[in-house]
Chain A
Amino acid sequence: MSDAAPQFDGRGGRWVGASVPRREDPRLLTGRGRFVDDIQLPGTLHASFVRSTVAHARITGIDLSATLAVDGVVAAYTAADLDLGDIVALLDRPPEEFAPTAMPILAREKVRFVGEPVALVVARDPYLAEDGAELAVVDYEPLPAIVSEETALAENAPLVHEEAPGNVLLDVSMFDTPGVDEAFADASGCVVEVVTRSGRQNALPLETRGVIASWDDHDDQLLVQMCTQVPHQVRTALARSLRVPERTVRVTVPDMGGGFGQKCVVGREEIAVAAAARRLNRPVKWIEDRREALTAGFLAREQRYRTRAAFDADGRITALDVDIVCDMGAYSCYPFTAGIEPLMASAEMPSVYQVPAYRVRARAITSNKAPTAPYRGVSRPQYVMAIERVMERAARELGVDPLDIRRRNLITRFPYTGVNGITYDPGTYRESLDLAEATLRDEGWYELRDSAAAEGRHIGIGFCCFSERTGYGSEAFAKRKMTVVPGFDISEIRMDTTGSVVVTSGTVNHGQSHETTLAQIVADRLGLHVDQVKLRQGDTERIAYGWGTFASRSVTIGGSAVALAATRLGELLCRIAAHLLDTSPDNVRLDGDGGVVQIDDPGRRASFEEIADVAYLRSHLLPKDVEPTLTATASFDVPGDGTFSNATHAVVVEADPGTGGVTILRYACVEDCGVVIHPKVVDGQCRGGIAQGIAGALFEEVTYADNGEPSAASFIDYLVPTATEIPDITVSHLETPCAFTENGAKGAGEGGTIGAPAAVLNAINDALRHTGVELDTTPVHPQTVLAALDAAADREMSVPS
């Protein structure tokens, strides 16, 4: 589909909708990208952290004398030395619902997970910093480690945080609507209960975290160049921790090698490094190594759902009763808090289905594991998997086709307000399913599956239907009762004397192609060539406040803010042009070709260059009430419940009876993210997301030994899929333009990740359908598949013929 998109020069047409060449590519392809570690400042020192080797312990002593004796080590700090304010992420909820806990910048008194930073070593080069860190001696008095839901919630369990009784950080029952018990009592079809689990995963941007902080006397400011999706939130947290005005901190983001949510929270390491730079008055750099990234980087996704559902005789769901536990690890992340996963799951769980009665309890528990952060999709892969497993289970019980049961329950009329109070944006829930099914049928996969079964091959087909809230405005986030409420985005646009524009955005590009897509939006609004639009982002000095890039918000909210700013600049240009053309402002319009034209006399026109020339160089010619500045600012927020993209994923898998390995034979994604700004970019977001979803379904997992030791400290143990595990994926688009955004887009960053785990799991279960086994846990390991096939073979053998 995307290949058919026109390549055009923008004249007379629209940039939006075209796969124009990416503006970020030339530098990235030639090695001239500038990532954090590429920045070299004179006199830079290098940081390395002393990290806890035990999961839970009291610190009884720290001896840094051997560290400091290393030639080249310049300084070494403990928490007491740096004396920084803790990071505290808060929700505005009563104490029975939320327990506030603090994350110290360096561990004080206690360590709570293997890898927790205990001390910071600064040296002339990174090798020497590591030498120094290795020689630090930390004495621990070990405490029992909390590593599972069972140990965390056990009676009299040791506490990870004194402030969190029972190791519960959040315990909320967001919905308990009338009629739940009645529906279960009266269920004329069936009642199913499914327990789904998903393993702890690492978002794993290929570029690890990193920072270079330097004090600039000239600007009286700490310059913090780092790899973050949320520079303004880092500045806020940094200023609070250092107890200085925000003005004295500037955070900038160079090129960034992925984030996927892991970099949309504030890390303690970056704050410690900034503090060291301030003290030493020298640039200090820290580049996280992969071992640190795997064990001490923010993780995600370890969740368990017990989902009960009642169905009537027609296969319609009548009630849903859900219990959710999310293991958030050792600390609550700033600014989202430990509530991010359970609150997301509670609010969105009914998914794309019409559920009349709903009860949900969700808990965030704390444990002695690396802390968690949002990861692409946040809980949606998990609750979607839970409800999609429920659909499949009910289909089996009722003897109905699994797609039929979905069709009976899908939301089909919009606007639809769910039992969770959310009003869903119109979408193509039914159409995407129909198209996905037709694709596999037309290609003959059902026949192949059935004929293969006769040959003893285990081929299965799986689907997953979902919608995802994308443009979360502040109203939607405020419902979660966060004390720090994300949502809006601010944009400023400025035209220079040659008629080119620079536009700022509070979003942060780390692979999503903002420099291209946001420029397309602006180019269309003003009638400029994309090459005349330069995007600036990731700099707290240029933007009053920004919310960065996460939750597929960049094009919906960021893209709307730039569109609005461009519209306002366009209005200003028209006003000046009308004055120059000596006509009324109603009698002019942007001509789509870098100028303003007189409507009743199209021969009369003022180009942007002419207008800009007047505005800046001959401002005496401006209308009396117009100030000599070609700038406009806009702030945009999505009102109400936000925007919803939707999709159906369809997968064909084959399970190998010899190895238990699962191979994906076909992957089809049908998605609707509203207006597609750049088809290739959207396809790329879908495919990349699906690859991460497949990774979660089949490969990646961080497990912990009983003593809290993480299983995966290198890529040898943490299995990241490569080109041979990820199949080719077709992406088809349906377009339901969104009424709540300026550009009709809904956001496309996360959908792939959301749909893949459930679709793959359903396909595996279909492949194993003759075994009587149903799997509800990801990742699906080969040994699990083997065990299922062996059990089936045993049963067959023992059946008397």
Chain B
Amino acid sequence: MNDRHLIVLNVNGEDHEALVEPRKTLLDVLRHDLGLTGAHAGCEHGVCGACTVLVDGEPVRACLVFAVQAEAADIRTVESLGRDGELSDLQEAFREHHGLQCGFCTPGFLMLAEGFLAQQPDAGREEIREALSANLCRCTGYQTIVDAVAATAARRLDTERETAP
């Protein structure tokens, strides 16, 4: 059990080395070895989604992946959203719509929505709601999270239309 592996994880565009036991989850390595504490542990059995990160663009539950499995993948965490201290459009929308209260589920929802909107930019409100049902929030009753993601989708589509030739 105690044999360790030196792995290299590419997280948010940077390579990080970590010496880990094979049983260590990606979530624990991100949080405790790399100090990227944005992704949270809400259940560690794949249901709550608080640990959601993007692995090769796909929303993935970091508690269900062993870190050793994630070598060679492109991993993105909530810390990658926004730039130069500015919130991203999605983060702004969460703020504007009061899409968070305690904020514990929020990084998971942000990454879930980020991955989902990349795949389905023209999703309607009900499809968004359906997609967001992958994660649990105990504070908001979800409506304002759905509002925030729907508003982001609409805004992105508008921008795209405006900038289209």
Enumerate chain A interface residues (CB-CB to B < 8 A): 19, 21-22, 24-26, 28-35, 37-38, 40, 71-72, 127, 131, 204-208, 255-258, 260, 287, 289-290, 510-513, 680-681, 683-685, 687-692, 714-716, 720, 722-726, 728-729, 752
Instruction: Verify A512–B44 contact, CB threshold 8 A.
Output: no
Most chain A beta-carbon neighbours within 10 Å: one of B31, B91, B143: B143
Residue of A nearest to B36 (CB): A31
Instruction: Verify A715–B103 contact, CB threshold 8 A.
Output: no
Residue of A nearest to B135 (CB): A722
Docked complex Cα distance between A121 and B144 (Å) = 42
Q: Which of A35, A127, A290, A752 contacts B45 (CB 8 A)?
A: A290
Given A71-B2, A716-B47, A722-B136, is A30 in contact with B78 using a C-beta cutoff of 8 Å?
yes
Given A37-B31, A684-B140, is A714 in contact with B45 using a C-beta cutoff of 8 Å?
yes
Given A40-B32, A289-B44, is A726 in contact with B78 using a C-beta cutoff of 8 Å?
no
Residue of A nearest to B39 (CB): A31
29 contacting pairs across A/B (C-beta < 8 A): A29-B81, A29-B95, A29-B103, A29-B110, A30-B79, A30-B87, A31-B38, A38-B31, A71-B2, A127-B23, A206-B104, A206-B139, A207-B42, A207-B104, A257-B104, A290-B44, A290-B48, A680-B98, A685-B101, A687-B141, A687-B144, A691-B141, A715-B43, A722-B134, A723-B142, A723-B146, A724-B133, A725-B133, A726-B143
Docked complex Cα distance between A729 and B35 (Å) = 38
CB of B137 closer than 8 Å to a CB of A = yes
Instruction: Verify A29–B44 contact, CB threshold 8 A.
Output: no
Most chain B beta-carbon neighbours within 10 Å: one of A22, A40, A208, A688: A688
| A33 smallest CB distance to B (angstroms) | 5
User: Which residues between 30 and 57 of chain B lie within 8 Å of chain A, taking CB atoms?
Assistant: 31-32, 35-45, 47-48, 50
B78 neighbours in A (Cβ, 8 Å): 29-31
Residue of A nearest to B107 (CB): A31
CB of B106 closer than 8 Å to a CB of A = yes
CB of B138 closer than 8 Å to a CB of A = yes
| B68 smallest CB distance to A (angstroms) | 14
Instruction: Verify A723–B132 contact, CB threshold 8 A.
Output: yes
CB of B105 closer than 8 Å to a CB of A = yes
Instruction: Verify A257–B141 contact, CB threshold 8 A.
Output: no
Instruction: Verify B101–A512 contact, CB threshold 8 A.
Output: yes
Docked complex Cα distance between A32 and B32 (Å) = 14
Instruction: Verify A31–B138 contact, CB threshold 8 A.
Output: no
Docked complex Cα distance between A207 and B101 (Å) = 13
Instruction: Verify B102–A206 contact, CB threshold 8 A.
Output: yes
B91 neighbours in A (Cβ, 8 Å): 29-30
Given A29-B91, A728-B143, is A688 in contact with B45 using a C-beta cutoff of 8 Å?
no
CB of B100 closer than 8 Å to a CB of A = yes
Residue of A nearest to B144 (CB): A684
CB of B60 closer than 8 Å to a CB of A = no
Docked complex Cα distance between A725 and B141 (Å) = 10
Q: Which of B24, B45, B102 contacts A511 (CB 8 A)?
A: B102
CB of B129 closer than 8 Å to a CB of A = yes
Instruction: Verify A290–B37 contact, CB threshold 8 A.
Output: no
Instruction: Verify A683–B45 contact, CB threshold 8 A.
Output: no
Given A30-B81, A30-B87, A40-B32, is A21 in contact with B95 using a C-beta cutoff of 8 Å?
yes
| A281 smallest CB distance to B (angstroms) | 22
A687 neighbours in B (Cβ, 8 Å): 140-141, 143-144
| B66 smallest CB distance to A (angstroms) | 12
Q: Which of B37, B77, B129, B137 contacts A38 (CB 8 A)?
A: B37
Docked complex Cα distance between A34 and B23 (Å) = 26
CB of B3 closer than 8 Å to a CB of A = no
Other than the given A33-B104, A257-B40, A681-B98, 9 more pairs (CB < 8 A) read: A19-B98, A25-B95, A30-B78, A31-B38, A205-B104, A206-B139, A722-B136, A723-B133, A724-B133
Docked complex Cα distance between A726 and B110 (Å) = 19
User: Which residues between 98 and 155 of chain B lie within 8 Å of chain A, taking CB atoms?
Assistant: 98, 100-107, 110, 129-130, 132-146
Docked complex Cα distance between A649 and B21 (Å) = 53
Instruction: Verify B136–A720 contact, CB threshold 8 A.
Output: yes
| B146 smallest CB distance to A (angstroms) | 6
Docked complex Cα distance between A698 and B140 (Å) = 18
Docked complex Cα distance between A71 and B3 (Å) = 12
Instruction: Verify A22–B142 contact, CB threshold 8 A.
Output: no
Instruction: Verify A258–B100 contact, CB threshold 8 A.
Output: no
Q: Which of A131, A257, A690 contacts B103 (CB 8 A)?
A: A257
Residue of A nearest to B98 (CB): A680
Given A206-B138, A723-B146, A729-B141, is A287 in contact with B41 using a C-beta cutoff of 8 Å?
yes
Q: Which 6 A-B pairs have the closest CB atoms?
A: A31-B38, A257-B104, A28-B103, A511-B102, A511-B101, A687-B141
B24 neighbours in A (Cβ, 8 Å): 127
Given A71-B2, A688-B139, is A30 in contact with B102 using a C-beta cutoff of 8 Å?
no
Docked complex Cα distance between A776 and B143 (Å) = 29
Given A30-B81, A127-B24, A723-B133, is A22 in contact with B95 using a C-beta cutoff of 8 Å?
yes
Most chain A beta-carbon neighbours within 10 Å: one of B87, B110, B139, B141: B141
A723 neighbours in B (Cβ, 8 Å): 129-130, 132-133, 142, 145-146
Docked complex Cα distance between A20 and B59 (Å) = 32
Residue of A nearest to B24 (CB): A127
Instruction: Verify B43–A290 contact, CB threshold 8 A.
Output: yes
| A760 smallest CB distance to B (angstroms) | 14
A72 neighbours in B (Cβ, 8 Å): 2
Instruction: Verify A37–B37 contact, CB threshold 8 A.
Output: yes
Docked complex Cα distance between A132 and B26 (Å) = 22
Docked complex Cα distance between A714 and B142 (Å) = 21
Given A29-B95, A31-B107, is A206 in contact with B42 using a C-beta cutoff of 8 Å?
yes
Instruction: Verify B140–A33 contact, CB threshold 8 A.
Output: no
Instruction: Verify B102–A256 contact, CB threshold 8 A.
Output: yes
B103 neighbours in A (Cβ, 8 Å): 24-25, 28-29, 33, 255, 257, 511
| B163 smallest CB distance to A (angstroms) | 26
| B30 smallest CB distance to A (angstroms) | 10
Instruction: Verify A715–B31 contact, CB threshold 8 A.
Output: no
Instruction: Verify B77–A206 contact, CB threshold 8 A.
Output: no
